[in-house]
Amino acid sequence: MHGVTGKPPRAAQDNGALATSRMMLLLLVAMTGVAPISLYLLVPALPVLASTFGRDISIAQMTVSLYMVGIACSQSSWARCRIVSDAARCCWPGSA
């Protein structure tokens, strides 16, 4: 198996690292939940948004498209970052 060194991971040995990993998990859950909730709040408010700013509804609907583009860009950049970090981890001496 790739990356098995026979030693337990640092998170199993260090309580500080365990607390950090729990915090990262909580942050990941919160970030994952915010995206759909914000979209569910935005879509019903589109007519009010258009009338408040005195614009056509099609302009207000463009915010949903831009939101989707933003989510896609953030997820693709996160995936790219993950691939690079995994590749760097594989190349460290003694990690085989």
Q: In 3-state terms, the chain is what percent helix, strand and coil (to 5)?
A: 80, 0, 20
Whether the per-residue pLDDT at 12 is higher than 60: the answer is no
pLDDT band at 53 (very low <50, low <70, confident <90, very high): very high
61/19: higher pLDDT: 61
pLDDT confidence tier of residue 48, bands split at 50, 70 and 90: very high
Q: Report how far residue 20's alpha carbon sits from residue 14's, in angstroms, rounded to the nearest whole number.
A: 10
